[in-house]
Structure 1
Amino acid sequence: MNYKKVIYKGKQFGELVMFSHTLFSLPFAVISMVWAAGGWPSWWVMIWGLIALIAARNGANAFNRLADRKYDEQNPRTASRHLPQRLLQTREVTLFVIINYFIFIVAASMLNPLCMILSPVAILLITVYSYTKRFTWLSHLYLGFVIASAPIGAWFAVTGQFAITPFVLGTVVMLWIAGFDVIYGTQDIEFDRTHGLWSIPSFFGLKSALWMAKGMHAIMVLLLFSLYFFRDLSWMYLIGLGVAAILLMVEHGIIQPNKPTLMKVASYHLNQVISMVIVACTLLDFFLVS
């Protein structure tokens, strides 16, 4: 076996699905698991829950690259991605999607009957996202909706039951993701309009889109604040929320669509910090303060 080739392919697939962006959904899934279990859940639930989350995300992101490959080839901003550059072949990525979706179904089946029953529905929902930009500017919210399945699914993995808390967390994730996806989408306003793709920035214009993103993030913060009362949390949680709110304001303050590096900071890097701050302070609140 050519180990160098295996490592190279693994690196390519990791970049294809932007594996580091798991930090967007994973922290909220951890919070949901801990709250659902009243502490750390069993190793069985944690391991299979983590496998399910990663496999679903990898499969969905890879499928999105397949669905968008023709647009990625034409967009100067995305022309350097793996499929346009032939760094990975279509058949390889297709097989990668199938394997990850299969792993997701197996992992969900290892958790409880509710997760097993809902796993095909989850695959359908996350796969449909790749086509939403063809017909609706609500694609950003739909993306947030499918990523919101992480904290909701994590709660189901632990309890096998419905509850209010995971859906509040899910709504937080949906608005957060949709908000910074709108920010990221401001870079492609003209391309989207030219190629008949729908987005909030291309449909409403730059200024209106940025105000809508601010509104989504403001509601997100308010929902997180409501959990302070609903979950009877402490000052440590509020510190995390305060830091996250400040970082969101910084994010909105540095937006410049004509500067790709700065947009990556606003859309991705700052939000990775935000999620880690929230999960750290929430876990400290739960295990050390409350």
Structure 2
Amino acid sequence: MATSGVDVPRLDGRVQVIDRYAFAYGGYADIYCGVISDRNTVVAIKVFRDAHLKAQSPELQRKYAKRLNKEYRVWALLRHPNVLPLLGLIDHPSIPSTGIVAPRCSYGDLRSFFARQIRPAQAVNRLAIVIGVASGLAYVHENEVVHGDLTMNNILIELINGTFTPLLSDFGRSRVLEQAGYTTSIGNAVHRHMPPEILTVDDEHRSTKAFTQAADVWCFGMVMLETLTGKPPFFGMNELQAATAVAYKHEKPDQNRYPAFPHDNTCWQIMRECWHKDPSRRQEMCNLLQYLNAVR
């Protein structure tokens, strides 16, 4: 996907920040609520935490905004029913640094969505959600884009035409976090969704390993497992223990630990195609999507 000469739309003066304080907090960012005045559209405004502390002069602020534009312009070009639209960037006196504007999803991220107790679990078609994630990621890969940080927290849920629909979000976040001085580097963070090739390299080269389609495929398999079973990969371990098991013990999720798995063995076969230690042996997303559609 060609992005040269393309800029993320600026929404300065068009977005009203509703509250003084963030309504949600992630590991790296604070989320503010806003409204696009001329559309009367409610939006979420993501601001990387403490970025303003490293950009205290007008020149550094301009450099930071330029970095965001560079890393997020690919996301702004993506158009798919399972990809959250990126609407633009804003600077506003109510937020500490440049904000990333996207539609606000009523049901939050995928993990929070399943944790809610306001509806019976059987009302949600978990396989359909997995297929939606696969469809969005296959589209992303077809356009030669890599997500780089696919987890349950970076997939949002919205009710669209009566159907709970997954929306991939946060493209470009990892690259911004790798820029020294902006915020905590992903080089120092590990989580249970990461493939072994990312976990076993030094921090300096971690982002290079993260930004491959094969790494996305590994992460998709982990998202698929948690979505279908309601249990995270390597449940019973903390993040560091799970990452160590993958990186140095070559462990993969054990089917025997999920006796109540709601689908037949085909889904396990699909997930195993995602978890080859050798990235070159992992299936492409377009093929995985075909396999999943055959399970319906």
TM-score bin, normalised by smaller chain:
under 0.3
More strand by share: 2
Higher helix residue share: 1
Relative to the length of structure 2, the TM-score reads 0.26
Q: Which has the higher contact order (CA 8 A, sep 6+)?
A: 1
